[in-house]
Amino acid sequence: MYRVFQSDKDAYITNKIISPTLRALDTNTGQAGTVDLFKLYDENSIVGETNPIELSRGLIHFDISNLISTLALGEFDPASPNFKCRLYMHDVYGGQTTPSNFSLVVYPLSKSFDEGVGRDIIRFEDIDVVNFITASTSLSATLWSSQGAAAGGTLGSPNLDYFTLGNLNDGLGTISLAATQSFETGEEDLDVDVTKIVSGVLSGQLPDAGFRISFIAAQEEDAKTRFVKRFASRNTTNTSKRPELIVTYDDTISDNTQIFEFNTSGSIFLNSFTRSSPSNLLSGSSLTALTGQDCIKVKLISGSLSRSFNASQHKIGNTYITGIYSASFLINSYDSDIFPYMTGNNYPSLNFGVKWLSNDQTVQFATGSLTVTPRNTTYFTQSPERYFINIVNMRSFYKFDEKFRFKIFIEDFNREIQYVKTPLENTGIIVEKCFYRVRDFESGDVIIPYHDPGTKTSNDATTHYFDFYMSSLPRGRTYTFDFKIVNKGQEVAINDVAAKFRVE
């Protein structure tokens, strides 16, 4: 899954010198089109200070309430190594002076902030919260513990504005919560890994207060001016440049029924429904739900040949998924009872009947079939693969808060044609790996790139599919999908697969 969360509030706070007797401590930039980071050393004079330092710090928050709700449904496991979160902000270069060879650091805030309505970034005359002194006024005025949100320390310590260290009960002890990026030219985008921070918020160990962005401490305190690193804010008119929290995780299901091979481990799946809703299998007079590891059996039968394997409730990370069961196993073509059967009858494959059974094998829940084939071996050839892809359930419009499951038909143009006398349904093929990406239809810009495993499609026994959150795309724009197939050691890109669609 590849999800993009938009910022719901951002601003930068500053102690910029306005006059020889005044700093902009109570000014607000919440509605500005950029988040500006700068540090000025002895550039302006103010009464009572020698070599004064002026600086700014960025603040940003993302609404991840939907991510929290999908976590409760078991859609992903934040402890999984495949769960990753990145804070991405687009550089805005308009010909202004830009610093080089510096580093920015991102920390989790300990206090929530109000965005405010200020937009004056020239004279800094808009007075509102958030500012260099005050974080929020939601109920009563909440001041920063140290002006400029400068009080940092270990999670659990009192009177902090942001956390630098924390023990998140992940077995790693006390760890740094900083996410740092070095900038060489100064025109790079911000792209930092904030997985530790987001995981801490999802587990309730860190407050959902947002992020603090600044120059690293040594560069805030040295005798050097750095002006100005500028990022697009959530209020920029170019929706494709707004800040993003990018969350990726592996929620794919790969059913190998159509491509099961000898001597290679594969998985087959079973769905269980009650009146169209996913539900666990029930067994016994007490109707006990069958859950967890090794809760049922899969039995394969072909003539006198048979194999039994344990099957389990499918899980993502440590969370079991209601109504989905799977079994993973390997059929060895060199087993003593299979090898003579294969070679003696010159069969290229074996067809098995499949039974899903209770562990004592007295109750049968479902039946099916499985064809196990040899590995695909051919004379050496470099002829390119040719595929046709179609999204069979594409609509022209989607709502911003909609989650939609796209179903994909894939046809292999190189596949040998089979001539039959009776109608044969063409269900397409299953490939090893298939990825999607999203492009802006008008500009051609890639909005969501190919990503493994974030944009990898799932497949059942006959069809590829993927779930997509429309909230990952800016509203009011038109988009199209491209696909990349990785199969038989080759990568094939197929562009402009589907009709365009719009997110409202």
- Comparing 305-309, 403-407, 473-477, 496-500, which segment has the lowest mean pLDDT? 496-500
Residue type for position 53:
I
CA distance 405 to 26: 48
Phi/psi at 380 (5° precision) = -60, 125
pLDDT of residue 267: 97
Q: Which domains does the chain have, with CATH numbers?
A: 2-248 (no CATH), 262-372 (no CATH), 387-503 (2.60.40.2840)
Q: What is the pLDDT of residues 95-104, one digit of tens each?
A: 888 999 999 9
Q: Where are the alpha helices (DSSP H) in 329-455?
A: 339-345
Read off the amino acid at residue 258.
Q
pLDDT of residue 346: 63
Q: What 3-state class would DSSP assign to 241?
A: helix
Under the banding of pLDDT at 50, 70 and 90, the label for residue 272 is very high
Query: What pLDDT digit, counting tens, does each position of 201-221 carry?
Result: 999 999 999 999 999 999 999
End-to-end alpha-carbon separation of the chain, Å?
Answer: 21
Grade residue 438 by pLDDT with cuts at 50, 70 and 90.
Answer: very high
Average pLDDT over residues 314-334: 91
> Tens digits of per-residue pLDDT, 180-193?
999 999 999 999 99
Residue 23 CA to residue 15 CA, distance in Å, equals 5
Q: Which of 91, 71, 81 is nearest to 3 (CA)?
A: 71
Helix/strand/coil for 269: strand
CB contact set of 48 (below 8 Å; sequence gap of 6+): none
- Per the CB < 8 A criterion, the answer to whether 207 and 157 are in contact is no
Average pLDDT over every residue of 251-264: 94
What's the CA gap between 146 and 175, in Å, rounded?
A: 23
Least confident of 24-33, 50-59, 143-152, 411-420: 411-420
What pTM was computed for the model? 0.92
Distance between CA atoms of residues 265 and 330, nearest Å: 4
Q: Is residue 419 pLDDT above 80, yes or no?
A: no
